[in-house]
Amino acid sequence: MVSFLKSAAIAVAGLLMTAAAYADPEVGKPAPDFSAVDSNGKSVKLSDYRGKTVVLEWTNDGCPYVKKHYSSNNMQTLQKEVAAKGAVWLTIISSALGAQGYLTGDEANKLTETRGAAPAAVVLDPEGVLGHLYDARTTPHMFIVNGEGTLVYMGGIDDAATTDPADIKTAKNYVRAALDNLAAGSPIETAVTRPYGCSVKYKTAS
Amino acid sequence: MGHWQLASVLAFFLAATGWGSAMAAEAGPHHHVEVVLLAEKSAVEPGKMITVAVQERMEPGWHTYWINPGDSGEPTSIEWSLPQGLSAGPILWPIPHVISVGPLAEYGYDDEVVLLTEIQVPEKIEGNSVTLGAKVSYLVCREICIPEEKHVELTLPVQSAGAASPSAFAAQIEKARSALPVPLPGTASYSANPAKESLRLTVSTDEKLLQGVKDARFFPLTWGSVANPAPQPMKISGGRLTLDMKQGDTKETPERLEGLLVLTKGSGEGERSGYTVSALRGPDSATSGSLFDAAGGSGMGSGAVRPGAEAAGISGVGIAVLFAFLGGAMLNLMPCVFPVLALKALAFAKKAEHGHRQQGIAYLGGVLVSFGAIAAFIVAFREGTAALGWGFQFQSPAFVLALASLFFVMGLSLSGVVSFGAGMMSIGDSLSRRPGNAGYFFTGVLAAIAATPCTAPFMGAAIGYAMTQPSYILAAIMLGLGLGFAAPVVILSISPALQHILPKPGVWMVTLKQVLAFPLYATAAWLVWVLSIQTGSDGVMAAALAVVGIGFAAWLAHKTAFSSLPVKLIAPALAVATLAVTLPMAETAETVSAATGANSSVLAEEPFTKARLDELRADGRPVFINLTAAWCITCKVNERVALKTSSVTQAFQAAGITYLKGDWTRANPEISDLLRRFGRAGVPLYLFYPGRGEEPRVLPQILTAGLVIDEIKAKPLIASPSPSKGA
C-alpha cells in the first residue's frame, strides 16, 4: 500500500510538472530548473550552478542566423568572456533527430572544436523538453539566469535581426549589456527583447 | 508535397553528417524563390506615380515573411536603385497568413506574394528611359531557413503624361492593390488583464462588416505585446467584435496597439479582408491612474475590496447577518446538537426557576468566543495567505472551483457519504462538567465543538462565503451564526416553560440533514456555471474531474474507514491530489468569452470603459450603466426581469440612452474604481447619467421594469426640447 501511495504521489508530481512546463518563463521569476545530458553524457543541472551566472544559448549550426554569429567569431568571443568571468555558458540544441541542427554528442564536441567555441557544456535536447520549458523559439535565443536562479534576461543576442555578419559591428549586443549590468549590480536595462532567427526545429507532436 | 519533404529530410541528413551543411543551408545557385519586378504601366510619366510590384514565387512549402515575421523569420526588404529624382515609397504589405511551426507562429506568405511599391516620378526626367533597380533580400523558410538576395531590374520608356498605357501586369497589380488592408471603418480599443496575462481587443464598426465572419485574427505590427501562437477567440454581437489575446514576452501595453485585423468570411478557405487597426489602450488596463481615484484614496490592498456576493452592498450586511443568525439557530436541529439542547432544556425545567439567566449568558459567551475564534482564525489565515499572493477572489477560476469542490464535499457530508470530526466530541467534555457558570461557558464551547460533525457543512458554506467579504462583515457573520446557535438555550434559560414547544428528537433530524444537502449541491452547480463563463469548456472539464476525483475519494474513505492509518490516508491524499491537478487547470484555462450573454440582449449594449463614459458625458448624452458579474445572481435576475424587457429597451431607445455594461466577473480596476466612488464593495450597481452634465442617479439593487422606466423619466432634461440628435 505504501508503494502504491508512493507511485500515486509520483504520478501526481508528474502531472504537476507537466502543468509547470506550460507556464512560460518570465523575467524576474525563478528560472525553470532542469536536468539534462550534455555532449559528453554528463548530467547538467541548472540548480547546481547556484551562485553563478548562467547563459543559455539555443543553437542550430545549420541556421543562417547562427552562422552569422559563429562565422564572425561573435558568439565565441562572448563565450570566452563569460568563462573568464567565472560564469557558465550552456549551449543547447533542441533540434529533433533528423532535423536541421541535430547533433550526436561526438558531432557536437567536434563542432565545438572546429568552430573554436567555448561553452561550459553543450546540452542535447532532441526531445525538445528543455526548449519547451523555456519556450525557446529561435536560434539563437538567449537566456541569462543570475546567481540566485532568477531569470534576468530573455530574447535576442542583439538588435540586428539579419543574417549579415557585417551588421554585428553596429548592433547592440543585449546579452553582453545584460551581463555588464549584472556585474555592476545594476538592474538589467533591457531584459526582454525580440529573439530573432530560425525557428527551433522541434520534434513534431506526431 | 511528398517529394519536397523527402528532399528536405535528405538535406537535413546531409547537414547533420557535416559535409553537406554548407550546400544545404547556404543559398547556392538554386533559389527557392523566383523574384520578378513588374510595373503597372508600360511607361513612366513625368510628375506621376507609378506602381511597381516585386513578385515572389515560392517553391511549394516555402514561405517569406510579413513586416512582423512573428516568432521567427525576417521580412523581405527592398533596396531601390533609382535614377536621380525618382523616389520609392514603403512596401505596401498584403494580408499575411499565420504559419504554424510547432509551438511557434510566424506571419508570412506562401506560394506567391506581390509586394507593391509606389514610385514618384519627378516633373523633369533626363533621357528617354529609366531603369528601376531593386535589391530584394528575404529569408525563405520551410523547415529550414535560407537568406536569399536577388537583384531585379526593369527599364521603362518615358512618355508624356497620359500617354502611358496599362502594362500586361496591370490587372494583376490592380488585384493586389484591391486586396491590400484598408483602415478600419470604426473604432478600436483594447484592455489588458495583467493577472490573466490577456488582452482584449474591442472593435466597433459597421454591422455589415462583421456579418458572416467566421474567423478573426489580429496581427500585431511589432513584436512584444501579443503572443503570436495563442488562439484568439472572438465574439461578435451586432457591430462589435472582441478578440481575446495572450500577452507577449514584454507584457507591454502601449498607448496604441497597432496591427492588422483580418476577417474571414465564407466557406472553405474563405474570403479574407484586412483592416489596419490602431487600438487605444483602455484606461482599465494594467495600471489605472484615472479620475476615479479621487474617492478611493489609498490603492487597493490585498483585501481592500473583495468582490464577493451582492450582499456586500450597503443593506446587504444586515441581511447576511440575519441569515447567519437563522442558520445558526437551525444548527440546533442537527442530530448531534439537538439532543444536547433537549438535555439542557430538561435541566432548566427540573431545577429551580432562578439563576438560569446567568447560565444562559455564560453559555452564550462560550458559543460566541468559539465562533469569534473561528472568525479570527479565518481572518488571520486569509491575510496571511493574501500576503503570500493567494487571491481569494471570485475572479480567480481556481478559487471558484475550490469553492465548488467545498460545497460538493459539504453536500456529500450532509448526504452521509463522508463524515468530519467525529472524534472531536470528547475534547471539551470534562471541562463542561464543571459546576456553575464556568461549566455553562464551557458547555457553550463544547456545543460549538461537539456539534462539528453536523455543523461543519454549514460552517464550511458560511466560511466559504465569508472568505470573500471584508473582515468586519466576516466577523459579523460568524458572530451572527453564534448568536443564532446559542439563541434556543438562552431563550430557554430565560423561560424554561417554552421547552414544550421544542419538537421531539427523531429520525426527522437525519432526513432534514439529508435534504439540506441539495441546496449545497445546487450552489456547487451554480459555481461551475460561473466557472464556465470565466474559462469556457476547459474550466468545466476541470470541475467535472474535480467532482469525479472527490467522489471517488469519498467512496474510498467510506470503504477504508476501518483500515489502518496509512490506508485511511489514501482517500484524503487523493482528494488533495485531485484539487492540486484541477485547480491549476481551471486557473490556466483560456478565457472564451465575457459574461455578457451575446445571444439574448435586444438592448444594444457597449462594454463599460471610463473613456466611453467620459466621451458620452462630454457629449451630454444620457447613459445607463449596469455593473454586473457572472456570479451575481441578483444581477442576472435584474437583467431578466427589468433591463432586458422590451418596455425598458423601448424606453432606452426613445430617450436615446446609451447602455454601458461593465462585467466584473474578472477583476477590472476601472469598474472597481467606479464602485468605490459610489461607496459599494460589489455589484450590482446601476447608475443613470441623465446627460447634460447632471449628477448621476443611483438605482436600487433590486430592479423592476417600471422602476427603471420611472427613473429615467423621473426628471426630464431641464432644457427641453432635447438637443440630442440621436434621440
Which residue among A154, A202, A204 sits closest to B249, beta carbon to beta carbon? A154
Whether residue A62 and residue B21 make contact (CB cut-off 8 A), yes or no, is yes
Q: What is the mean pLDDT of residues B544-562?
A: 86
Residue of B nearest to A23 (CA): B588
Which of A172-176, B469-473, B531-535 ranks highest by mean pLDDT?
Answer: A172-176
Q: Which three cell numbers stand for residue B633?
A: 445572481
- Considering the domain architecture, whether residues B173 and B218 belong to the same structural domain is answered as no
Domain presence at residue B726:
no
Residue of B nearest to A155 (CA): B249
Would you tell me which residues 11-70 of chain A have a C-beta closer than 8 angstroms to some C-beta of chain B?
Answer: 12, 15-16, 19, 22-23, 61-65, 67
pLDDT at B193 over 90: no
- Considering the domain architecture, whether residues B327 and B437 belong to the same structural domain is answered as yes
- Considering the domain architecture, whether residues B343 and B475 belong to the same structural domain is answered as yes
DSSP state of B643: I
Q: Which three cell numbers stand for residue A108?
A: 557536437
Structural domain span for residue B47? 3-178
Q: Measured between CB atoms, does A144 come within 8 Å of chain B?
A: no
User: From the CA of A140, how many Å to the nearest CA of chain B?
Assistant: 10
Q: What percent of chain B has pLDDT over 70?
A: 71
More confident residue, B554 or B155: B155
- Considering the domain architecture, whether residues B565 and B646 belong to the same structural domain is answered as no
Q: Measured between CB atoms, does B12 come within 8 Å of chain A?
A: yes
Q: What is the CATH number of the domain that holds B136?
A: 2.60.40.1250
Q: Measured between CB atoms, does B74 come within 8 Å of chain A?
A: yes
Q: Which residues are CB-neighbours of B289 under 8 A, at least 6 positions away? A: B283
- Separation in Å, CA B240 to CA B49, B211, B233, B276, B583: 38, 11, 14, 16, 33
Round to whole Å and give the CA distance between B13 and B622.
70
Q: What is the mean pLDDT of residues B370-385?
A: 74
Residue B656 Ramachandran class (φ > 0 left, ψ -120 to 50 alpha, else beta): left
Q: Measured between CB atoms, does B139 come within 8 Å of chain A?
A: yes
The predicted pLDDT at position B449 comes to 64
The residue among B395, B465, B392 whose CA lies nearest residue B630 is B395
Instruction: Of B25-34, B144-153, B413-422, B493-502, give the lowest mean pLDDT range.
Output: B25-34
Round to whole Å and give the CA distance between B624 and B648.
11
Q: Measured between CB atoms, does A201 come within 8 Å of chain B?
A: yes
Torsion of CA B478, B481, B487, B489, to 10 degrees: -90
Q: Measured between CB atoms, does A2 come within 8 Å of chain B?
A: yes
- Considering the domain architecture, whether residues B394 and B363 belong to the same structural domain is answered as yes
Residue of A nearest to B196 (CA): A23
Show residues of chain A in contact with B553, CB under 8 Å: none
Residue of B nearest to A20 (CA): B584
Q: What is the CATH number of the domain that holds B285?
A: 2.60.40
Q: How confident is the model at residue B147 (pLDDT cuts 50, 70, 90)?
A: confident
The predicted pLDDT at position B119 comes to 94
Whether residue B25 and residue A67 make contact (CB cut-off 8 A), yes or no, is yes
Domain presence at residue B593:
no
Which residue among B141, B249, B566 sits closest to A198, beta carbon to beta carbon? B141
Show residues of chain A in contact with B584, CB under 8 Å: 16, 19
Q: Measured between CB atoms, does B72 come within 8 Å of chain A?
A: yes
Where does a domain end: B236, B269, B304?
Answer: B304
pLDDT at B424 over 80: no
B22: number of Cβ within 10 Å: 13
The predicted pLDDT at position B632 comes to 64
Which of A12-16, A106-110, B127-131 ranks highest by mean pLDDT?
Answer: A106-110
pLDDT at B310 over 80: no
Domain presence at residue B718:
no
- Considering the domain architecture, whether residues B573 and B639 belong to the same structural domain is answered as no
DSSP state of B389: T
The predicted pLDDT at position A21 comes to 39
Show residues of chain A in contact with B570, CB under 8 Å: 1, 4-5, 8
- Considering the domain architecture, whether residues B44 and B155 belong to the same structural domain is answered as yes
The predicted pLDDT at position B397 comes to 76
Q: How confident is the model at residue A73 (pLDDT cuts 50, 70, 90)?
A: very high
Q: Is B196 within 8 Å of B247 (Cβ atoms)?
A: no
Domain presence at residue B33:
yes
pLDDT at B410 over 60: yes
pLDDT digits (tens, 9 = 90+) for B611-666: 888 888 888 888 999 988 766 656 766 777 788 888 888 888 888 888 999 887 66
Instruction: Of A156-165, B298-307, B385-394, B611-620, give the lowest mean pLDDT range.
Output: B298-307
- Considering the domain architecture, whether residues B454 and B556 belong to the same structural domain is answered as yes
The predicted pLDDT at position A205 comes to 64
Where does a domain end: B120, B145, B178?
Answer: B178
Whether residue B16 and residue A202 make contact (CB cut-off 8 A), yes or no, is no
Where does a domain end: B121, B156, B178?
Answer: B178
Domain presence at residue B127:
yes
Residue of A nearest to B571 (CA): A5
Domain presence at residue B116:
yes
Show residues of chain B in contact with A96, CB under 8 Å: none
Q: What is the CATH number of the domain that holds B640?
A: 3.40.30.10
Q: What is the mean pLDDT of residues B512-523?
A: 77
The predicted pLDDT at position B260 comes to 95
Q: How confident is the model at residue A68 (pLDDT cuts 50, 70, 90)?
A: very high
Q: Measured between CB atoms, does A198 come within 8 Å of chain B?
A: yes
> Positive or negative CA dihedral for B327, B333, B335, B338?
positive
Q: What percent of chain B has pLDDT over 90?
A: 22
Q: Which three cell numbers stand for residue B217?
A: 485574427
Average pLDDT taken over every residue of chain B = 75
Q: Measured between CB atoms, does B580 come within 8 Å of chain A?
A: yes
DSSP state of B44: B
Q: How confident is the model at residue B332 (pLDDT cuts 50, 70, 90)?
A: confident
Show residues of chain B in contact with A101, CB under 8 Å: 15
The predicted pLDDT at position B22 comes to 31
pLDDT at A181 over 70: yes
pLDDT at A176 over 80: yes
Instruction: Of B347-356, B579-588, B675-684, B698-707, give the lowest mean pLDDT range.
Output: B347-356
pLDDT digits (tens, 9 = 90+) for A89-109: 999 999 999 899 999 999 999
Q: What is the mean pLDDT of residues A176-180?
A: 95
- Considering the domain architecture, whether residues B360 and B287 belong to the same structural domain is answered as no
The predicted pLDDT at position B602 comes to 57
Q: Measured between CB atoms, does B24 come within 8 Å of chain A?
A: yes
pLDDT at B335 over 70: no
Q: What is the mean pLDDT of residues B509-529?
A: 78
The predicted pLDDT at position B392 comes to 38
Q: What is the mean pLDDT of residues B512-521?
A: 78
Q: What is the mean pLDDT of residues B182-196?
A: 87
- Separation in Å, CA B77 to CA A114, A198, B137: 33, 17, 5
pLDDT at B212 over 60: yes
Which of B193-207, B274-288, B451-465, B519-533 ranks highest by mean pLDDT?
Answer: B193-207
- Considering the domain architecture, whether residues B571 and B604 belong to the same structural domain is answered as no
The predicted pLDDT at position A16 comes to 34
Which residue among B73, B143, B581 sits closest to A201, beta carbon to beta carbon? B143
B506: number of Cβ within 10 Å: 10
The predicted pLDDT at position B289 comes to 28
- Considering the domain architecture, whether residues B45 and B118 belong to the same structural domain is answered as yes
Q: How confident is the model at residue B270 (pLDDT cuts 50, 70, 90)?
A: confident
Domain presence at residue B147:
yes
Q: How confident is the model at residue B692 (pLDDT cuts 50, 70, 90)?
A: confident
Whether residue A192 and residue B15 make contact (CB cut-off 8 A), yes or no, is no
Backbone angles phi, psi at A85, to 5 degrees: -85, 5
How many domains are contained in chain B? 4
More confident residue, B566 or B247: B247
Round to whole Å and give the CA distance between B279 and B257.
5
Whether residue A8 and residue B567 make contact (CB cut-off 8 A), yes or no, is no
Q: How confident is the model at residue B466 (pLDDT cuts 50, 70, 90)?
A: low
Instruction: Of B449-453, B541-545, B671-675, give the lowest mean pLDDT range.
Output: B449-453
More confident residue, A61 or B297: A61
pLDDT digits (tens, 9 = 90+) for B45-87: 998 899 999 999 999 989 999 999 998 888 999 999 999 889 9
Q: Measured between CB atoms, does A3 come within 8 Å of chain B?
A: no
Round to whole Å and give the CA distance between B612 and B343.
65
Domain presence at residue B202:
yes
pLDDT digits (tens, 9 = 90+) for A119-136: 999 999 999 999 999 999
- Considering the domain architecture, whether residues B173 and B232 belong to the same structural domain is answered as no
Instruction: Give the sheet arrangement for strand B87-88, strand by strand.
Output: B33-39, B49-58, B112-120, B87-88
Whether residue A100 and residue B15 make contact (CB cut-off 8 A), yes or no, is yes
User: How many A×B Cβ pairs under 8 Å?
Assistant: 113
